Amino acid sequence: MKKNVVLFSKIPDDQQKRLADAFNLSVFDGSPDSNKDAFITALAGADGMIGSNMATRVDDAFLALAPKLQAASTISVGYDNYDLSALKKRRIRLMNTPTVLTEGTADLIFTLLMATARRTVELSNLIHDGKWTSGITPQYYGTDVYGKTLGILGMGRIAKAIVKRAHCGFDMNVLYYNRSAHLDVEQTYQAKRCELDELLKHADFVVVILPLTSETDRLITKEKLALMKPSAILINGARGRIIDQQALTQALQAKTIKAAGLDVFEVEPLPMTSPLLHLDNIVLSPHVGSATLETRYVMAKCAVDNLIAALQDNPPTENWV
């Protein structure tokens, strides 16, 4: 008999068909909350689920709605919305897509770094607003990236892909903060491992690309922001909660740091009441690190592979959290 699977939101047709061929599939479009009763009914019979909705917290309360659940496959590298101890108690397998979004996410983080340094959005708005009436004055000049110092928090796959871009493409010096040393980046890109405070004091660009855990939650406090140079730029492509967003807003307002590029926020979507929306020295993107057609396709495929393997008693080893 076919097993039951809940798909939180639509994925490319051919991948959805693989799921529909293998399982009895219930598909929801976007937020499961939009069709709550049907979602709860589907979960009640689900053997597996596949989704990417970071807003859905998968904890004891959620799992109580899914008494038969054996496997959860997330279309993401991050899985901080899953309570691992709750999954463990129920012996539910969790799988993610760690290898396929590395380059796409590194590209987006570098895009934010470049756009923030060169004030691309501000200057584009200037043209849209009809304010390009003569030569651009120094008040709109940007900051060089080439040859500067990158300080990167984390040294996972995405961090390494960013370091490669920084070192090989932009001749940047690289400092990194990570609980373990990575001799490969030290040897290949002359990256230097250092303490967080030292990195914050010296980096021209601070890039946050760490997983959200109890250790990294609010790692970047008001005090840590105060260590950064007034000319420094902060980029967060990881999770909003790693930085104290209120303290960051104040630092940007007071210009104790130069600018920030943010793909992630404490609350997503970012509420329209957020004071971040009133700042010029910021570039925002709506949590789109992996959002290219190519990358999202391979992420969906990987998540489908993971779930099919897990529910057919052929556990994936590589992507099993």
Task: List residues near ligand DGY by CB under 6 A.
Answer: 54, 76-78, 101, 289-290
Q: How far is the CB of 92 from ligand DGY (least distance, A)?
A: 19
Q: Residue 290 Cβ, how far from ligand DGY at the closest point, in Å?
A: 5
- Smallest distance from ligand DGY to CB 288, Å: 9
- Does the annotation count 241 as an active-site position? no
**What is the closest distance, in whole angstroms, from the C-beta atom of residue 101 to ligand DGY in the complex?**
6
Tell me how far, at minimum, the Cβ of 266 lies from ligand DGY, in Å.
Answer: 14
Token pair belonging to 39: 């979602």
23 neighbors 17 (Cβ within 8 angstroms): no
* Beta carbon of residue 12, minimum distance to ligand DGY (angstroms, whole number): 17
The reply to whether 128 belongs to the active site is no
SS (H, E, C) the chain: CCCEEEECCCCCHHHHHHHHHHCEEEECCCCHHHHHHHHHHHHHCCCEEEECCCCCCECHHHHHCCCCCCEEEECCCCCCCECHHHHHHCCCEEECCCCCCHHHHHHHHHHHHHHHHCCHHHHHHHHHCCCCCCCCCHHHCCCCCCCCEEEEECCCHHHHHHHHHHHHHHCCEEEEECCCCCHHHHHHHCCEECCHHHHHHHCCEEEECCCCCCCCCCCECHHHHHHCCCCCEEEECCCHHHECHHHHHHHHHHCCCCEEEECCCCCCCCCCCCHHHHCCCEEECCCCCCCCHHHHHHHHHHHHHHHHHHHCCCCCCCCEC
Q: What's the CA gap between 226 and 256, in Å, rounded?
A: 7
Residues 6+ apart with CB under 8 A from 119: 140, 142, 259
Closest distance to ligand DGY from the beta carbon of 52 (Å): 6
Of 18, 93, 241, 287, the active-site residue reads: 287
From the list 93, 193, 202, 239, the catalytic residue is 239
Crossing angle, helix 293-311 and helix 102-117, to 10 degrees?
150
Do 123 and 117 touch, CB atoms closer than 8 A? no
Catalytic amino acids? 239, 268, 287
